[in-house]
Amino acid sequence: FKEKLEELKGAKSVTKDGVEVELVANIGTPKDVEGVIRNDGEGIGLYRTEFLYMDRDKLPTEDEQFEAYKEVVEKLEGKPVVIRTLDIGGDKELPYLDLPEEMNPFLGYRAIRLCLDKTDIFKTQLRALLRASAYGNLKIMFPMISSIAEVRQAKKILEEVKEELRSENVEFDDNIEVGMMIEIPAAAVMSDLFAKEVDFFSIGTNDLIQYTTAVDRMNQKISYLYSQFHPALLRLVKQVIDNAHKEGIWVGMCGEAAGDPKLIPVLLGMGLDEFSMSPISILRARWIIRNTSKEEMEEMVNKVLNMATAEEVEKFIDENISVL
Ligand code: PEP
Ligand code: MG
């Protein structure tokens, strides 16, 4: 089977009935790009920039960030690279910011909330991202958006930074795509309206499962309740995809579920446009995609969306859908 997967390098990520999707990778540092290229990733669907800020004792400078982002987009040679702005907080801490301890860090002062408050940190990152956009196909993505006001504010600050760069005659991609993560139920439920505000969505199932089911993604004691097959999650995902397509924007997924061999056919049936996963999962996903018919899956999706439990969904997939 491993040899079969090797043969898929250079092949398209296309279903049996001819629907092409984008198969891209999640990375944490520029070093990870090597694995993306080795596994024939078609781009980067999520560059988690937190690691640039972690394991050090002060904020990274604009130039340090610019160099990292530029290295990634250059190595991808024009393939799409979605870079997420700082998603600190929750399980990822920055001791040097000296933030007060919180009762519920996952529901607290983090990610875009922190960036919209500490705009100097946010603007520095946006400057670095825009400057790097002159060197490849870079897209900016905002994490943890829960309200329309936040995405508008983030876009407003981005426009201010663009204006700053223009006045300094610094080059950047003026048509840069701006997207947001759908990882908070409020954003999924309101995705019809969010779709009018951005160029793309990427569904973060790791957090979307956690917040939809009120199950801490780190807590082993209740991990039996945390499932990518939960019908509530699947309904939300379908709703988000439909709402995105109604507005003519594309929608990807960068949570762990996007690389789940059992779920990939279901997501194809729902119409997901982009699958972003750990580089080592890419060729296996391509094999699944090439052995799945989207049209057949569309019927299966209707059945799955009417099921009552995660166990029922998984069993149905095992018996009727799984191609592995
Ligand atoms: C997610 O929440 O699904 C996601 C991709 O982001 P992270 O795992 O970094 O929170
Ligand atoms: Mg997340």
CA angle (230 as vertex; 200, 45 as ends), nearest 5: 25
Cβ of 87 less than 6 Å from ligand 1? yes
Task: From the CA of 203, give the closest atom in ligand 1.
Answer: 3
* Long-range contacts from 282-286, C-beta under 8 angstroms, 24+ separation: 282/23, 282/25, 282/36, 282/39, 282/40, 282/41, 283/5, 283/6, 283/8, 283/9, 283/39, 283/40, 284/5, 284/324, 285/13, 285/23, 285/259, 285/261, 286/5, 286/8, 286/11, 286/13, 286/23, 286/40
Q: Active site includes 254?
A: yes
Per the residue annotation, which of 158, 254, 263, 304 is the catalytic one?
254
Residue 179 alpha carbon to ligand 1 centre in Å: 15
Q: What is the pLDDT of residue 196?
A: 98
Beta bridge partners of 141: 84, 179
Asked whether residue 207 is marked as a ligand-binding residue, the answer is yes
Task: From the CA of 46, give the closest atom in ligand 1.
Answer: 5
For residue 91, what pLDDT band results from cuts at 50, 70 and 90? confident
Does the pLDDT value for residue 237 go beyond 80?
yes
Give the mean model confidence (pLDDT) for residues 124-133.
Answer: 98
Q: How far apart are CA 33 and CA 73, in angstroms?
A: 10
Asked whether residue 34 is marked as a ligand-binding residue, the answer is no
Q: What is the pLDDT of residues 35-69, one digit of tens each?
A: 999 999 999 999 999 999 998 999 999 999 999 99
**Which of these, 293, 289, 292, 294, lies nearest to 275 by C-alpha position?**
289
**In the chain, what's the furthest Cα-to-Cα distance?**
61
Residue 291 alpha carbon to ligand 1 centre in Å: 28
For residue 2, what pLDDT band results from cuts at 50, 70 and 90? confident
Q: What is the pLDDT of residue 89?
A: 87
For residue 92, what pLDDT band results from cuts at 50, 70 and 90? confident
Nearest Cα residue to atom 9 of ligand 1: 48
Does the pLDDT value for residue 93 go beyond 90?
no
Cβ of 276 less than 6 Å from ligand 1? no
Q: Which two tokens stand for residue 252?
A: 């990807």
For residue 259, what pLDDT band results from cuts at 50, 70 and 90? very high
Cβ of 89 less than 6 Å from ligand 1? no
Question: What ipTM was estimated for this complex?
Answer: 0.99
Task: From the CA of 255, give the closest atom in ligand 1.
Answer: 3
Cβ of 255 less than 6 Å from ligand 1? yes
Q: How far apart are CA 276 and CA 22, in angstroms?
A: 8
Cβ of 204 less than 6 Å from ligand 1? yes
From 29, 54, 83, 87, mutation site for ligand 1 pocket: most ligand atoms within 8 A of C-beta: 87
Does the pLDDT value for residue 318 go beyond 90?
yes
Quick one: DSSP state of residue 280? G
Give the mean model confidence (pLDDT) for residues 143-168.
Answer: 98
Nearest Cα residue to atom 1 of ligand 1: 204
Q: What is the rounded average pLDDT for all residues in the chain?
A: 97
Q: What is the pLDDT of residues 242-255, one digit of tens each?
A: 999 999 999 999 99
For residue 90, what pLDDT band results from cuts at 50, 70 and 90? confident
